[in-house]
Structure 1
Amino acid sequence: MQLESAILNLALNAQDAMVSGGRLTISTANASLDVGDHNTHPDVGPGEYIVIAVTDTGSGMPRRVLERAFEPFFTTKEVGKGSGLGLSMVYGFVKQSNGHVTIYREPGLGTTVRIYLPAVLAKTQSAPLAVEKEVVQSGSETVLVVEDDPFVRSYAVMSLESLGYRVISAVDGKEALQTLAAAPHIDLLFTDVVMPGGVNGWELAGLARKARPEMRVLLTSGYALETLAANGHVQQGAPILEKPYRKAELARLVREALAAAVPV
């Protein structure tokens, strides 16, 4: 019931943020947190997590609101239209569950709230069902992963390494450009589109291709492609891997990107 209430609270907040209508997306995925990410978030232990993401296409939460979002009784709504307890209740439930919650917003694009809850692997005595295994494509190329969310970055890095790729990671566009200047060879740039730091993924892709015309690029985002295109963050029809994504989807899109013709 607490999880249901948390998701409902986030959905209602998202609805209020989209005054003129928009798109509300609720998605789930698996994520892994390694020791490096534990150092970034000491209150969250390494391990497997279930991610529930609630994304809206509203105006985007202002920074001053973001900084106080989890405070009890803090609200930007009119008197009588909100108690200010919604996000603080979500935060309390997640922390009681030994989880983590993040808010990412981008002015003009919207807001994404991600809840990370520890995964529990159920043990069963019954014989496992015969499931047809999905063929996952692997490789040995070098991939530069650029992602500001430590949980998502960790999942992408671990997934690609398990597929045989050599992986280098960066937390934003500026660090990625420094890596590109120093690394001798990178076959694929796999970057989030919307990132803090002054250089978004689309701009990073353009700068990277100028420096290394032979390098392939694969974009990823939790925002709808039409929303990104409408705000000039990416061209309509550009290949993009929508978050949250499964390892098999990542593997397929990476192979397709590496096999694509070099852009002129």
Structure 2
Amino acid sequence: MFSRIKEDINSVFDRDPAARTSFEVILNYPGLHAIWIHRLSYRLWCADWKLIARTISTFSRWLTGIEIHPGAKLGRRVFIDHGMGIVIGETAEVGNDVTLYHGVTLGGTSWKAGKRHPTLEDNVVIGAGAQVLGPITIGKGGKVGSNSVVVKDLPANATAVGIPGRIVPDKHSKDENQQREEVAKKYGFDAYAVSHDNPDPVAKAIGRLLDHMHLMDDRVSELCKEINTLGGDICPKNLPELRVGEFVEDEKAAAERRENKVASFDPEI
């Protein structure tokens, strides 16, 4: 049990740069609380203690703002970010390493018993406010854009946006997409839903920036090799890794310096 809890906490650090300490995560992440309580209610549901399971589920909804039916199946390292307003239906199945943002609904489209809620395979990301409805399957690595409504199956590694959800065509090769993801990880950026043809202008700009950074890295590396071949001695080491947290700390330090200057300012001078 404790190993699963530790695994859940580590998954938060992997996907949320705002997380600082394990103690902070344990106290202040309702998505984790909802998942931990669901594990208890799910076991009771499977043991045919239906009423107690539903009661615990209702308490979890009151506590976290996240409604997970005790019959839903959740995989390992599921990360619910913010969480408020999330609804996961009874026959929903969520795979490993899935990320759900606030306002997501994994709902049904029928009142008949049986499988009526979505199945999310491993590494799926569902954006804020998205609705995934019916007994459909979101393939491994699939992404659903914010506020989209998806009612049909989504192939693996595809991105769906809009109402109704439609697959965003990707005219670039798999290798190019992989390069973009690698550059994003190198600089500490989560390239969620950043595809080449994403209609979001901000996402498109970020994607182009990642492409530019990848090209510049290659050019600088080639230039260093050529100069070293001619007898020079530059770039003996790899470039230092950049992390988003470093810039956050720099901003904090700069803010503190500004506050100190203001506090030490004497208007009479």
TM-score, normalised by the number of residues in structure 1: 0.28
Structure with bigger helix share is 2
Structure with bigger strand share is 1
TM-score, normalised by the number of residues in structure 2: 0.28
